[in-house]
Amino acid sequence: MSGPLLQVRDLSVDYLTEKGAFRAVKNVSFDIGRGELFGLAGESGCGKSTIAFAITRLAKAPAWVRGGEILLDGQNLLKLTEASLQKVRWRRIGMVFQSAMNSLNPLMRVEDQFHDVLRRHNGFGREQSRERAEAMFKLVGIASNRLRDYPHQFSGGMRQRIVIAICLALEPELIIMDEPTTALDVVVQREILEQVIDLQRSIGFSVLFITHDLHLMSQLCNRIGVMLKGELVEVGDVREVSQAPKHDYTRKLWASIPQLPARAREAV
Ligand SMILES: Nc1ncnc2c1ncn2[C@@H]1O[C@H](COP(=O)(O)OP(=O)(O)OP(=O)(O)O)[C@@H](O)[C@H]1O
C-alpha cells in the first residue's frame, strides 16, 4: 500500500479532572512514512506520551480522546473494536517505554517470555519461538546461550535491549519509543539507539521516537515535530527544523542545548 503508514489527524485528547477538562493534546496532525524515523520533541508535560498512548489506544480514564483520527494504512484505530485492536497492538505497532526493562517478568526465563509473546500473538510453537528468540538476540548483540537466564542476570541496558528484541520479534511495522533509554547511562543509551537505527535500516520498520533530548533526536530522525503545551508548533525535515526553525519556541529549544565544541560534538 502506498501513502504514509500512520496519519494522525486533528487529534485532541483531554484529561477529565475534578477541575474540568485539561486539554493535553490540541488538534495535532502529522504523518509517519514507511521506514521513516519520526521524532516528537518538546518539554516535559507538552503531551508527547499522551499521543503515544492514544495511538496505541492504551490511554485510560481520565484520558479522553475528544476528536480526530489515527489512521494506520488508512484504517482508523480509534474506531476499532477491542478484538480488532488486539491484532494491531504489538503485532503491527510495537511499544518500548522508558521503564520497559522493568516490564520483563522477573520469575520467567527470557526464552519463556519470548515464547509467551510469540505464542499469544503469532501462534508460534516452542521450537519456532526459540529460533526467533535466538535470531533476535543475535540482532541486539546478546549471546543466545543467555536466553535461559532470568532478567536479573542482565544489566539494565541488556534488559532494555531484550524488551526491544521481544518487540521486534513480532515484526511490527511501527515502533513507538517513548524515552526508551532515559533510565540508562549516556553511553549505553547511545549504543542501544545506534543499534535500533541499524536494525531499522536493515528491517525497514517505522519509528515514532519521543524524547525531550532534541539534540539526540536530530541525530537519529528523518523528520521532527516540536510540541508546545499540547500543540504541534512545527514539523519538518530534520535539517529544516534544526537549521531554519520557523517557530520561536523551536529556536529557544535549540538555543537551550549546550553548545559543544565541534570536535566533541562529532565524537558524541
Ligand atoms: N492522568 C492524568 N490526569 C490529569 N492530567 C494528566 C494525566 N496524565 C497526564 N496529564 C497531563 O497532561 C499533560 C501531558 O502529559 P504527557 O505525559 O503526555 O506529557 P509529556 O510531554 O509526555 O511529558 P514527559 O516528557 O514528562 O513524559 C501534562 O500536563 C500532564 O500533567
Instruction: For residue 223, report the phi and psi dihedrals to the nearest 5 degrees.
Output: -130, 155
Helix (H) or strand (E) holding 229: none
pTM of the model: 0.89
Query: Mutation test of ligand 1: which of 23, 40, 49 has the most ligand atoms closer than 8 Å to its C-beta?
Result: 49
Residue type, position 142, single letter: I
In the chain, at which residue ranges do the beta strands (DSSP E only) sit? 6-17, 20-32, 37-41, 63-72, 75-76, 93-97, 174-178, 206-210, 223-228, 231-237
CATH 3.40.50.300 is the classification of domain 1-92+176-255: yes
ipTM over 0.90? The verdict is yes
Block residue for cell numbers 526491544: 164
Query: Mutation test of ligand 1: which of 48, 51, 216 has the most ligand atoms closer than 8 Å to its C-beta?
Result: 48
56 grid coordinates: 496505541
Residue 259: the pLDDT is 59
Specify the length of the chain in residues.
Answer: 268
- Centroid of chain to Cα 254: 22
Query: Mutation test of ligand 1: which of 15, 95, 231 has the most ligand atoms closer than 8 Å to its C-beta?
Result: 15
Residue nearest to atom 26 of ligand 1 (CA): 44
Provide the residue-wise pLDDT of the chain in tens; the chain has 268 residues: 678 999 999 999 999 999 999 999 999 999 999 999 999 999 889 999 999 999 998 888 899 999 999 999 999 999 999 889 988 988 899 988 877 777 899 999 999 999 999 999 999 999 999 999 999 998 888 999 999 999 999 998 899 889 989 998 999 999 999 988 777 777 877 888 888 888 888 888 999 999 888 888 888 899 999 999 999 999 999 999 888 889 999 888 888 876 554 444 444 3
The ranges assigned to domains in the chain are 1-92+176-255, 100-171
Ligand 1 pocket, CB under 6 A: 15, 17, 22, 24, 42, 44-50, 62, 212
